[in-house]
Amino acid sequence: MQHLDGTMPCQRHTGRSSPHASRSVLELNRDAPAYICAVRILRVLQGVSYWVIEDPVEIAELINNNVTREWETDIAGTEDHDGRAWLDSLPERSWRLERVRLTRVRLDQGTMNYSDGRTGYSFVERLVERRRLLQRSLREFGIVIWPLVLRAEDRMLMDGYCRYHTLTDMKVKETFAYVGYPMGERFNRLSSRKPASRRNIEEYYRKHDDFRRYAMSNERRVKQLSRLYDSNRRYFGKRVLDIACGGGVLGFLVEKHDRSYVGVDVNRDMIGMARAHAEMAGSSNRFLLADATREVVGGSFDTVTLLGNALCHFDTKDFARLVGNVDPSVGRGAHFIIDYRDVVDLLYRRKWKSKLVERNKGMVTVSNTTNCDTKKGNLAGVSKWGDGTNRVEFTQAIWAPFIVELVMESRGWKLIKREEHSDWPGWLDIYRKS
């Protein structure tokens, strides 16, 4: 397969002259290895094949390193203030792979109208040739292209003018795009924080717990979540965002009730299982690999969920950030559904098991709680298995209803329903956005 990028980055948004103004499509192809280095997946959408990168961290790396270099070259020697501002904002953006409708993409008029009287170069004229070539390559050779690059705040097309026009000519309605969300001051602070340790979460769900318990293959989990959905159906709107979605069980249930669904999880094992099931079942649910405390999921949602005691992975600060990150995607009247273990109550009643011995296929895992940190608000523990040299350390946040409510209230969510959990000692809370 061949990569053909029909874009002229130098014309992206400046409308100014550039040393590369006449690069052809095929020359650009030689510049492509920047993209090719990244971990990529082949996806087909409306008959067009794309190489996509799904992990927001990898997309950010790609944009901040390789793609930026290309942009840098393109505006070098020009007085392109707009281009400079855009370039400088890149590291402060959080990137998503998204499916976007082409009608929602905006074009920069400076780019479209660009011409150079000296060389006779006209962007629009050159585009006609390039899109014809790209269309032929797509139709006849089935080449694979890359997503567009969009600025989230105004859906302005920053890279991919040739791809955009070619797809429009072909009457394609939807395409893939890397969408860059500005993170602002609040997010700058977040981005300097150490990323949540993915490997640790993955280890935790391989050794301490079993990630497969959160997949469709686990009938028990399917029944539990069906029950939860059935008794709270009226709080589920048309568009559901499931944070820490695990294997996406909730998504496959709500989809049957004609609801759209996006699941987010930081764990590759979980997202892998969810996507595999979605593919097998022909589901249109979307699953994103992302840290919910650091990333904002684009889109609009009526219901947000955080289920299966996923709250135990978030201390109060992380949880407040997570809830804040949801803000841009919900409106007044949206619902937030959370279930969680009441650790304060368990400790008081001496029901917190500080030593747990579990047997799985002949292997014994012993987990011990080693510390209670009331300043951070968590219990620390370690699980050991095999001969005891294999170990994973973990923390479990300490939650109780009054703390959850306080955080939710501070972010504008009002408690409208609270009931004891039917499956374990804890609570199911429902909040409404005011």
Ligand X SMILES: C[S@@+](CC[C@H](N)C(=O)[O-])C[C@H]1O[C@@H](n2cnc3c(N)ncnc32)[C@H](O)[C@@H]1O
Binding site for ligand X (CB under 6 A): 196, 201, 214, 221, 244-246, 249, 264-267, 270, 291-293, 307-310, 313
Query: 163 or 313: whose CB is closer to ligand X?
Result: 313
Residue 344 Cβ vs ligand X, minimum distance, rounded to whole Å: 19
Residue 205 Cβ vs ligand X, minimum distance, rounded to whole Å: 6
Residue 140 Cβ vs ligand X, minimum distance, rounded to whole Å: 43
> DSSP assignment, residue 208?
I
Query: 75 or 430: whose CB is closer to ligand X?
Result: 430
Query: 144 or 244: whose CB is closer to ligand X?
Result: 244
Residue 213 Cβ vs ligand X, minimum distance, rounded to whole Å: 8
Query: 132 or 189: whose CB is closer to ligand X?
Result: 189
Residue 250 Cβ vs ligand X, minimum distance, rounded to whole Å: 7
R_g of the chain computed on alpha carbons:
24
Q: Which residues does residue 286 pair with via DSSP β-bridges, in sequence order?
A: 262
Percent of residues in the chain assigned helix, strand, coil, to nearest 5: 40, 30, 30
Strand 115-116 vs strand 121-122: parallel, antiparallel, or unpaired?
antiparallel
What single-letter amino acid sits at 431? Y
Closest CA to 4 of 30, 39, 41, 22: 30
Yes or no: say if 183 and 190 are a contact pair by the CB < 8 Å rule.
Answer: yes
User: Quick one: which H or E segment has residue 286?
Assistant: strand 286-289
Query: 172 or 380: whose CB is closer to ligand X?
Result: 380
Query: 196 or 382: whose CB is closer to ligand X?
Result: 196
Phi, psi dihedral angles at 290 (to 5 degrees): -165, 155
Residue 366 Cβ vs ligand X, minimum distance, rounded to whole Å: 20
Angstrom distance (rounded) from CA 355 to CA 370: 9
Closest CA to 32 of 55, 11, 6: 6
Query: CA 172, 176, 177, 183 torsion: positive or negative?
Result: positive
Q: Where are the beta strands (DSSP E) in 140-220?
A: 144-145, 148-151, 156-159, 174-182
Residue 307 Cβ vs ligand X, minimum distance, rounded to whole Å: 4
Angstrom distance (rounded) from CA 300 to CA 330: 6
Query: 133 or 380: whose CB is closer to ligand X?
Result: 380
Angstrom distance (rounded) from CA 370 to CA 70: 51
Pinpoint the alpha helices (H) of 386-433.
401-410
Angstrom distance (rounded) from CA 135 to CA 172: 12
Residue 168 Cβ vs ligand X, minimum distance, rounded to whole Å: 35
Beta-carbon contacts of 27 under 8 Å, excluding residues fewer than 6 positions away, are none
Residue 258 Cβ vs ligand X, minimum distance, rounded to whole Å: 21
Query: 144 or 292: whose CB is closer to ligand X?
Result: 292
Query: 18 or 396: whose CB is closer to ligand X?
Result: 396
Residue in the structure block whose two tokens are 């103004």: 21
The token pair at 308 is: 């299966």
Query: 295 or 302: whose CB is closer to ligand X?
Result: 295
The token pair at 405 is: 């409510």
Residue 188 Cβ vs ligand X, minimum distance, rounded to whole Å: 19
Residue 281 Cβ vs ligand X, minimum distance, rounded to whole Å: 17
Yes or no: say if 3 and 32 are a contact pair by the CB < 8 Å rule.
Answer: yes
Query: 165 or 208: whose CB is closer to ligand X?
Result: 208
Query: 14 or 267: whose CB is closer to ligand X?
Result: 267
Residue 39 Cβ vs ligand X, minimum distance, rounded to whole Å: 19
DSSP SS3 for 66: helix
Rounded-to-10 torsion of CA 97, 193, 321, 149: -20
